[in-house]
């Protein structure tokens, strides 16, 4: 888009050209700036097209094409998280509900820079939705699944959505001197539909004599690929190799290289409810000490937020099952009630706590308290977005 086409209606630019960048910043930090020239407010109120609202109220900072106005004209230092709305990798993970909150309440509401003004007074909810619809057209690559499909992560069921995050999960046996199984999971989104995953387990076990053994378990490296994504559903496949890095003399790890494969499916339901499924198999290269297994997991849940910028609670209920490919084996089936909650304003740090209860083959399979701490580092540093 030629820059000249968009210049006439840029209220913000006119405004700060009039007062200069220094004053712009002062005004921004002391009051919620209105749609730039207050005199133009009625004009802004009358706009209905998302594109017109964007050019009038947003382009001064975000640039006529959404890539950001030039540094020379905006008069503030762009924060590291300053969006380029044409960059699909940056914008598609963001939910409409979060953008709505940012536009209505300003950057501060979600722990972002307060330079992003609040448009609570200037724009009606319908206008905010219209401008978001316009922002969504700026990413032209349709292969990126929408962020709404990034459902809350259950404790055991793997998500279908490819993302960048770090998760520490721990399962602690609910008994005396409990065993602890923990895992550091690192996920890195490589492209629109591909994601790398590395999982490093760490266990603290008690051997037959009651001695405590601890160590790194079998490290897994996987590649996830989205095979299908619609407005409300997403399906992915993942292949992985699990290396025999565990200390088998201490009873940790299988001692054999294993190939794993699974499919994950997520489906949005009405009223912020969702279901997620995972079906997969682990195939050890030798079955002397490890068995081939088939596993499936299912989670159903719902997200509840008091308001768009408040804490989000996601109660979930999971079924977890695995079965060895051995004659006469019966499936282990566990139920895992749990809830996830966001810890900070930006909602990119979350915890989930649940209780895993075996319902079959209960001998030697204690109930476990399972929890994780998740850091969606795509959205910022661990200590960002708390205030």
Using CA atoms of 113, 116, 117, 119 in order, give the dihedral in degrees to the nearest 10. Answer: -130
**How far apart are the C-alpha atoms of 293 and 260, rounded to whole Å?**
9
12 binds ligand HEC (CB under 6 A): yes
99 binds ligand HEC (CB under 6 A): yes
117 binds ligand HEC (CB under 6 A): yes
377 binds ligand HEC (CB under 6 A): no
With CB under 6 A as the rule, give the number of residues binding ligand HEC: 23
Residues 58-87 that bind ligand HEC (CB under 6 A): 58, 60-62, 79, 81-83
The nearest distance, CB 338 to ligand HEC, in angstroms, is 28
Burial (CB count within 10 angstroms: exposed 0-12, middle 13-18, buried 19+), residue 168: middle
The nearest distance, CB 78 to ligand HEC, in angstroms, is 6
Residues 6 or more apart whose Cβ sits within 8 Å of residue 2 = none
The nearest distance, CB 238 to ligand HEC, in angstroms, is 27
Q: Considering only CA atoms, which of 103, 88, 102, 77 is closest in space to residue 25?
A: 77
Considering only 131, 167, 205, 219, the residue that binds ligand HEC (CB under 6 A) is: 131
The nearest distance, CB 233 to ligand HEC, in angstroms, is 24
CB 300 within 8 A of CB 338: no
Considering only 47, 66, 94, 105, the residue that binds ligand HEC (CB under 6 A) is: 94
376 binds ligand HEC (CB under 6 A): no
* Radius of gyration for the chain, computed over Cα atoms and rounded to the nearest angstrom: 25
- Alpha helical stretches, state H, 63-172: 71-74, 88-91, 96-105, 125-137
The nearest distance, CB 225 to ligand HEC, in angstroms, is 25
- State which residue, 136 or 206, has the beta carbon closest to ligand HEC: 136
DSSP for 254-283, please give it. -SS-EEEEEEEEEEEETTTEEEEEEEEEEE
The nearest distance, CB 370 to ligand HEC, in angstroms, is 31
Q: Considering only CA atoms, which of 181, 183, 213 is closest in space to residue 200?
A: 183
Q: What is the contact surface with ligand HEC in residues (CB under 6 A)?
A: 12, 57-58, 60-62, 79, 81-83, 91, 94, 99, 102-103, 107, 112-113, 115-117, 119, 131
């Amino acid at each position: 888009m030629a820059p000249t086409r968009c210049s006439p209606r840029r209220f913000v630019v006119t405004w700060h050209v009039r007062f200069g960048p220094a004053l712009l910043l002062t005004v921004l930090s002391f009051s919620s700036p209105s749609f730039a020239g207050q005199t133009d407010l009625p004009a802004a109120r009358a706009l209905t097209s998302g594109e017109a609202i964007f050019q009038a109220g947003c382009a001064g900072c975000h640039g006529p094409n959404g890539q950001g106005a030039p540094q020379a004209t905006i008069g503030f230092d762009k924060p590291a998280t300053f969006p380029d709305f044409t960059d699909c990798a940056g914008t598609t993970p963001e939910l409409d509900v979060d953008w709505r909150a940012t536009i209505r309440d300003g950057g501060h509401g979600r722990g972002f820079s307060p330079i992003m003004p609040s448009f609570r007074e200037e724009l009606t909810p319908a206008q905010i939705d219209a401008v978001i619809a316009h922002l969504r057209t700026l990413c032209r690559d349709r292969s990126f699944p929408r962020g709404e499909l990034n459902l809350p992560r259950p404790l055991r069921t793997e998500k279908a959505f490819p993302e960048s995050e770090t998760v520490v999960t721990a399962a602690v046996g609910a008994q005396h001197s409990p065993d602890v199984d923990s895992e550091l999971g690192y996920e890195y989104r490589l492209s629109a539909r591909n994601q790398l995953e590395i999982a490093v387990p760490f266990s603290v076990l008690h051997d037959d004599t009651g001695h405590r053994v601890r160590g790194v378990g079998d490290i897994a490296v996987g590649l996830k690929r989205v095979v299908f994504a619609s407005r409300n559903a997403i399906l992915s496949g993942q292949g992985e190799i699990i290396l025999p890095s565990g200390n088998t003399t201490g009873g940790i790890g299988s001692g054999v290289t294993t190939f794993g494969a699974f499919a994950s499916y997520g489906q949005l339901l009405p009223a912020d409810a969702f279901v997620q499924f995972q079906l997969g198999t682990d195939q050890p290269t030798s079955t002397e000490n490890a068995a081939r297994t088939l596993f499936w997991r299912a989670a159903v849940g719902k997200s509840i937020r008091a308001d768009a910028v408040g804490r989000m609670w996601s109660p979930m209920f999971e079924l977890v099952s695995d079965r060895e490919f051995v004659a006469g084996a019966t499936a282990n089936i566990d139920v895992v009630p749990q809830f996830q909650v966001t810890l900070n304003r930006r909602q990119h740090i979350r915890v989930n706590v649940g209780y895993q209860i075996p319902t079959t083959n209960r001998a030697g399979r204690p109930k476990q308290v399972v929890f994780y701490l998740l850091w969606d580092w795509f959205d910022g540093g661990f200590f960002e977005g708390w205030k």
